[in-house]
Amino acid sequence: VVKAARAGKHIFCEKPIDHSLEKIDRALDAVEKAGVKLQVGFNRRFDANFERVRRSIATGEIGTPHLLHIVSRDPGPPPISYIRVSGGMFLDMTIHDFDMARFLMQDEVTEVYTSASVRVDPEIGAAGDVDTAVIMLRFAGGAIGTIDNCRQAPYGYDQRVEVLGSLGSVETENRYPNRAVISTAESVRRDLPLNFFMERYSDSFTSELRAFVDAVLQDKPAPVSGIDGRIPVVMALAAKKSYEEGRPVRLAEIGERETRVEAVTR
């Protein structure tokens, strides 16, 4: 990021920008100084389901949001070699859900509390990581959120959200390769959901890159900013600290920077 910014290039950067807030801040400073655009790869913001949920809150369709529940489970764990360099589940996997929480609720999280375990593979524990966790979020506006993570959902990739508001609720279902239901003497069944992110989020990957190109061509702000890339890292570090110390942790303990939820202008 720093090199590209100095070269005057607009930047699309995958998440997380870095595991270190210091390095992230240096990168964001370089971007600001160079006046280039930086978009962070939180592709799930461009998924039609999650856009619809955000819209139901943004338009007041479900009123003031009170409770958020994010289910985010992978079909299976990555290799242990990857686990070791991943920064841990919170920085590697939950980071998408931290961003999703902010994106949907259009509010900032002030405190997190983590309960986590090694349930899927003891090797993951031996590598110093966890594979199953629930992270509770407290939002500035008083709403409460939960993120339900597991490295292994035997039926495939499980990506759903649900929000309860003062006027109603909204919930999303997984995406499937087809909508056929087969009924036999054994069961009423359907095929498994789309297996992993390349299938499930193929549309959103296209849309996020189109949005980046649009931002560059039309000189608009990138729809997922550098600050949007930094805050989930703060949340992940707080979630990790909460897990290690067995207590709720305020984000202010980790280090805040001026935050603002950027509107996705599409």
The single residue listed with the structure tokens 């549309």 is: 203
Phi, psi of 62, rounded to the nearest 5 degrees: -110, 15
Of 54, 37, 101, the closest CA to residue 263 belongs to: 54
Minimum CB–partner distance for residue 100 and a copy of itself (Å)? 14
| Residues ≥6 apart with Cβ < 8 Å to 218 | none
Q: Does residue 175 touch a copy of itself according to CB under 8 A?
A: yes
Q: Does residue 119 touch a copy of itself according to CB under 8 A?
A: yes
Q: How many CB atoms lie within 10 A of CB 40?
A: 26
The single residue listed with the structure tokens 């931002």 is: 215
Angle in degrees, CA 161, 221, 68, rounded to 5: 15
**Closer residue to a copy of itself, CB minimum distance, 87 or 193:** 193
Q: Does residue 170 touch a copy of itself according to CB under 8 A?
A: yes
Count of residues that bind a copy of itself according to CB under 8 A: 67
- When binding is defined by CB under 8 A, the residue of 13, 31, 104, 153 that contacts a copy of itself is 153
Of 172, 165, 163, the closest CA to residue 145 belongs to: 163
User: What 3-state DSSP class applies to 222?
Assistant: coil
Minimum CB–partner distance for residue 172 and a copy of itself (Å)? 5
- When binding is defined by CB under 8 A, the residue of 190, 210, 220, 257 that contacts a copy of itself is 190
- Which residues contribute to the site for a copy of itself (CB under 8 A)? 48-49, 51-53, 56, 61-64, 66-67, 69, 71, 73, 113, 115-117, 119-120, 132-134, 136, 138, 142-144, 146, 148, 150, 152-155, 158, 164, 166-175, 177-185, 187-193, 246-248
